[in-house]
A and B are shown apart, each in its own frame.
Chain A
Amino acid sequence: MPEYKQLPEEEMKRFAEIREAFYALAPKLTPIEPDKNGVIEYHGRRFVLINYVIFHDVVKALEQFVGEAMTKRMTYDFGYNAGKNIAVMFKRSSKSMGGAALALLKSGFDLKTLEKIKGDTPFEMCAKIVGYGKHSGFLGNTDIVCFDTDNHHYIARIRNTFVAAYYRNNGIKAKEPVCHFIAGVVGGVVSELVGEEIVVRETKCEAMGDDYCEFVGEKAKS
């Protein structure tokens, strides 16, 4: 890990609590269900459920036609745009989520869980977004090791990304990190929330045999 300011343990714990609280409430706050016409739409954006194998096939096809280096860059950019869109969606809907949370309170959900998701700082929004990421099958548990908005240093450790999972589940050991799309998502989310362009690189990857995928973010060089 680079020499960045590590997050105090109580803040790491708080991040995990917000993440889990949002994940518990996500089926009500950010439902994945299609409507009666088979349309999945949330805040004006259409979504599809795809088999994680398809993403891998698309990346491999891109590599064949535009080369590995360009594919890495393109998938990072896709992820970055996706991350920005997710963060914008969360920022826009945070007020309506507050209203939805109130409705949940009235229908018996416990106040402690609801209290945990009411904050809207970049740190708290990130925690909610990774809770949503778990709910939507993108990734497993995410922990934040560094979230330094003064120096713009960020480190996230993510387990079970759908990208690395393909390699693990098929017994393929990658020689270098493969989660370029996820790195882009992390970059896009953080950039949108902190108001600076943050570039993210993956420094550890489950597809390589590491225990988790690690993503390190810092301010883009101008």
Chain B
Amino acid sequence: MVMEFDTKKIEKIRDGEFKRLVGLKAHGDTNGNFIVNGKRLVLMGADYFMAEVLKILKEYVGPTGGGILYNIGVEAGKEYFKAHHVEGESVEDTIGKFFGFLMYSGYSKITFDGEKIIVPSSPTADMWSKNIGEKTKTCYYLSGLFAGFLSELFKKQLDVREVKCMAAGHDRCEFEIFE
């Protein structure tokens, strides 16, 4: 799929959004509510969420396990877009803020390389490699997250497929976008 946008601008907005979120110094309040952008967040170990979740799903339902996490990611990506997109803002602004939020959430410095989405250090892939070890792709939830978000942004059904994964032995995780 051909996508035209300014990657450098996305990165600048990503970094600005990341800095803004870090500057909030957010954490659980006196009742344990950790609220950012109006949503309750929870700090979870990436070993059990999602590496072990994926492992258990694969054991029980085989390759469909990845598909289940992908679909959950799609819905989450759509929800994120609806909650945060500002009417009239540029594509770069929307994507940049999304990547900034994911960076703040521990998903590393996400960017584009041509038309591929690059995740330099996926927490799922990292923890899978360290704790489970089997060489395989793991970032189904993240793929779905990108697919759901971009589908809403470009108003068309898009799928995202992970084509390289750190857990499969590559240097970084790469995702391609398909119509």
Identify the stretch in B2-10, B22-30, B85-93 within 8 Å (CB) of chain A at 4 or more residues: B22-30
A50–B126 touching, CB < 8 Å: no
On chain A, the residues within 8 Å of B30 by CB distance are 23, 134, 141
**Count class of interface residues, chain A:** 35 or more
Closest residue of chain A to B68 (Cβ to Cβ) is: A61
Compute how far the CA of A130 lies from the CA of B106 in the bound complex, rounded to whole angstroms: 22
On chain A, the residues within 8 Å of B32 by CB distance are 133-134, 137-141, 159-160, 162
Number of residues on chain B facing chain A (CB within 8 A) = 51
On chain A, the residues within 8 Å of B56 by CB distance are 74, 78
On chain A, the residues within 8 Å of B27 by CB distance are 26-27, 32, 135-137
A78–B60 touching, CB < 8 Å: no
Q: Within the complex, what minimum Cβ distance (angstroms) separates A156 from chain B?
A: 14
Compute how far the CA of A78 lies from the CA of B56 in the bound complex, rounded to whole angstroms: 10
B57–A162 touching, CB < 8 Å: no
Compute how far the CA of A141 lies from the CA of B32 in the bound complex, rounded to whole angstroms: 7
Residues 26-74 of B at the A interface (beta carbon under 8 Å): 27-28, 30-34, 36, 39-50, 52-53, 56-57, 60-61, 64, 68-69, 71-72
- Can you list, as one digit per residue, whether each of A21-58 has a CB less than 8 Å from chain B (1) or not (0)? 00100110000111001111000011111111111011
B52–A81 touching, CB < 8 Å: yes
